[in-house]
Amino acid sequence: MARSVTPLLKSYLKSNLINQGCQHRGFSYSSCLRTGHLKFSEQVKAAIAARQPVVALETTIVTHGMPAPQNIRTALEVEDIVRQSGAVPATIGIIKGQVYIGLERDQIEYLADPGTTAVKTSRHDLAYVLSQGLNGGTTVSGTMVLAHMAGIPVFVTGGIGGVHRGAESTMDISADLTELGRTPVTVVSAGIKSILDIGRTLEYLETQGVCVATYGATNDFPAFFSRSSGFKAPYHVTSPYQVACMIEKNHELGLQSGSLIAVPIPLEFDTLGQEIETVIQSVVREAQDKGISGKEVTPYILKRVNDLTQGKSLQANIHLIKNNAAVGSAIAVELNKLKQMKGGNSSNVKETSATKGDHQKYHNISTGGKTVYPTLRNTAITAEKNVDRSSKQKKVTVVGCSIVDFTVKVTQPHFKSNGASYAGHIHQSFGGVGRNLADGLSRLGTDTLFLSAVGDDSHRAAFEQHCKHMNLSGIARLPGHRTATYCAVLRDTGHLLFGVQDTNIASQITPQYISSFERQLANSDIVCMDGNITMETIKTLCDICRVNGVPVLFEPTDLLKATKPLQSSAHTAVTLTTPNFNELRAMAEFITGKQYTSIESADDCSCSEVIEESLRLLSPVSDLIPVTMVTLGRHGVLLCSRGDFTIGKGSCVQREGAATVRHYPALPVSDSAPIVSVSGAGDCMVSAFLTNHLEGFDLDTCMTSGLQAAHLSLMSNEAVPATMSRDVLRVESRVNLTLYSLLLK
C-alpha cells in the first residue's frame, strides 16, 4: 500500500516546486504535505526523489467513465504504456478521505469495483470528499489540482470538459477550463467531446490564458472520436521536444496557467469515429428530451452511445486514451531531460533501463489488423517493416540544403585583402552537403530520397535539370524565397580560404515538412542530415528515426553548425558523424567546455601531430556518438568506432567501452592530375562508403571506395562528378591503414 511522504521527499517537493515558480495561489504545499493529505506510492515517491519523469493519470475513467471490467483493464494497460515509454505512472484517486498519488493495483481494483461508491471529484468537491472520508474518482480539474500539489507537470486523460451547448442561458461550463487557466499542469487529451460547444470552449480557454496546441502536422482541433472538429487550435506542435520546451518556458515565466495538448485519435479509428459522432448527436437530443443535465450528462451519453454502437465507441475510447498516454509519456521524458540540462547535468545524463524507451511511437499504427502500442522492447512497426530486407535495395533518405555553388579560385600564389583584383577562375556548379550526398548516392545506384527546398527563382530550373537523375519528390518549391547560394574562395592549390553563403531557405525545411515524410523516413536503412537545417528540424528528424530504429548520419557542414545535435537529446539518435578536423574540435570543445588544440589547419601540420590531436578530440565526442569519421585533408581519414562496426536499420551500436580508431591515408595526387577543387570531396567519400557498407562489404573495402570517390571529386570542377559510378569505383586493391585500439575516456 502507499505510504505517507518522507521528510526527504517533503523537503525536495517543497524546494523543487518553489524553484520552478509553480507554487499555486491559494495552496500551501508545506501544510498540505505536513497534514498528510497526500500519500505517495513507493514507486512515485522514489521517482520524484530521483527526479525521474512522472505522468499523472485520473480515476474518473475508473469510477464513472467506463464499465467493468474494461475500466480496471484500461487503467492498468495505460499505466504499462507510461512505464514502457520511460516514465512513472501516478494514478491519482481518493480512498476513504485520503488522497493517493500513485494508486497500487488493489486500490485501483477497489475504485473500479461496481460495488464501490465514489464521488466524481473536481476542485470544488475536494474539501467535502476528504472531510467526510469518502471515495473519489478525480476529474480533469481535480487531478490537475492534486498533480500540481505533488509537483507533477504532465497529466494524461481522454478528453476534457468544456462549454456546454446553451451555456449562454445555463452557465454550464466545466471546471476543467478554469483549472487550466490557474494551474500550471499540461493536459494531454484527445480534445473536447463533440457533445460540447467546441468553438465557445476554445474561446473560453483563450480568455483563461491557456495555451492550446494540436499535436500533429496541422492546427485541426480534434473532437475526441473525430480527428477534426472543424475548428482550429491557435498552434500545433510536432514533437515531444517542442511541447517540453513550451512547458519549460511556461514555468520559467511563472504564468501560473496550464497548457492543453490535443492529440487526434489514431487515423485507423477516424472512420469509426465519424459513425460514432452521428450516434452521439442523436443521443444528445435524447438526453435533452429526458431533462438530463449537469454531471449526469456525460456518463449517460457515453453509456447510451456505447450501447447503440455495440461497444465500438468504448473500444475507440480505449485506443485514444492509450495513444494519449504514449504521447504524454514522451513529453514527460523530454521535459525531464530538458530540466536536467537546465540544471547543468546534461553531460552526466546516461541512458538507463528507466529511460531507454523515451521516444517510442507516439501515434499507434496498425500491424496485421491489431493496434500496437509502444514498449521498451518492441517498437510499433508496420507489417512491411517485418519483411527481411536483406535482398531488397537499400533505402537512404537525405535531409539538407540544395545550394548553387560559385567557386572562385585565385590563380596567383600571393595576394592580399587590399581591394585589388587578382587573376583567377570563377565557376558555377551545384552543391550543398545534403544535395551532394544525395547526388553521390544516386549515381552509385542507392535508392535515395532527398528532402530539401529551393526558391521559385532563376536557379530552380537549372537545379532541376542538373539533378534530374535524382529523386526530387521531396523538394519543396517555395515562391518568394531565394534558392540557397554559396561562394567558395580557393587558393591556387584548390584548398578553401573562406566561404560566403546565403542559406536562409534552409529554415523552410521545417519540422512539419519533415513529419509529412515520416513513413519514408521510418522505412529508410539510414537517414543523413546536414548541419544547415534548423535545430528544431534536427530534433524532429531524430525523434522520428529513434522511434523507428533508423540510424542517423550527421554531416556537420561547418564548424559553426557542428554542435547542433549536441544541444538537445537529438545526439542520442546519431550513430555516425563525419566532421573535418576543425568541426571535430568544435564538437569536443562544446561537450567539455574547454579548448583542446592550437592547431589551426590539419594541412599545416605533420600527419602524426594531427592524428595525436584528433585522438584527444575523439575521446569526448565518441562518448556521445559511437562512430566518427574525421576527414583530415591531405592526411586522409580517421574512423573511430565502438564494438562491431554495423550501421543499418535495427542494428545495435555500442556506445560504451573500447574504441578502435583506424587511419586511412589519402590517395596520392600526381602532378599530371592536380587538385581542381576540394568542394564535395568529403561528401563523395561518405556516399561511396555508405553505399558499400549498406551492401555488406567489409570496412576496408568501403573506405577504399570512399577515398577513390573523394580523389575523383578533387580532380573535378563539379562537387559530385558525373563520371562517378560503381564501375569507376571498383575496388581492386586496398589502401594501407594504421590501427589504434584504445579505451577513450
Q: Are 438 and 472 in contact (CB under 8 A)?
A: no
Query: Is 96 marked active-site?
Result: no
Cα 228-229-235 angle, rounded to 5 deg: 75
Contact partners, residue 38, CB within 8 Å, separation at least 6: 5, 32, 99, 101, 146, 149, 150
Closest-CA residue to 338 (of 251, 250, 256, 241): 241
Strand 54-57 and strand 154-156: pairing?
parallel
> What CA–CA distances, in Å, run from 725 to 446, 653, 673, 714?
11, 30, 20, 15
> What CA–CA distances, in Å, run from 71 to 78, 108, 474?
11, 9, 45
Q: Are 2 and 41 in contact (CB under 8 A)?
A: yes
Q: Which residue has cell 507510461?
A: 82
Q: C-alpha cell of 33?
A: 504535505
Q: Which string of DSSP letters, residue by residue, matches 143-170?
A: HHHHHHHHT--EEE-S-B--BBTTHHHH
User: Cα 508 to the chain's mean position, in Å?
Assistant: 18
d(CA 515, CA 487): 31
Q: Which residue has cell 550513430?
A: 575
d(CA 157, CA 142): 12
Q: Are 253 and 245 in contact (CB under 8 A)?
A: no
> What CA–CA distances, in Å, run from 638 to 303, 666, 684?
66, 11, 16
Q: What is the 3-state secondary structure (H, E, C) of 235-256?
A: EEECCHHHHHHHHHHHHHHCCC
User: Cα 569 to the chain's mean position, in Å?
Assistant: 8
Q: C-alpha cell of 183?
A: 494551474
Q: Are 495 and 470 in contact (CB under 8 A)?
A: no
Whether omega before 153 lies within 30 degrees of 0, making that bond cis, reads no
Q: Are 509 and 399 in contact (CB under 8 A)?
A: yes
Query: Is 732 marked active-site?
Result: no
Contact partners, residue 284, CB within 8 Å, separation at least 6: 165, 195, 301
Closest-CA residue to 141 (of 165, 164, 125): 125
Q: What is the 3-state secondary structure (H, E, C) of 337-395?
A: HHHHHHCCCHHHCCCCCCCCCCCCCCCCEEECCEEECCCCCCCCCCHHHHCCCCCCCCE
Say if residue 1 is exposed, middle or buried (CB neighbours under 10 Å; 0-12, 13-18, 19+).
Answer: exposed
Rg (CA), the chain: 29
Annotated catalytic residue, options 39, 45, 120, 193? 193
Amino acid of residue 630: V
H or E element that contains 40: strand 38-40
Q: Which residues are catalytic?
A: 58, 193
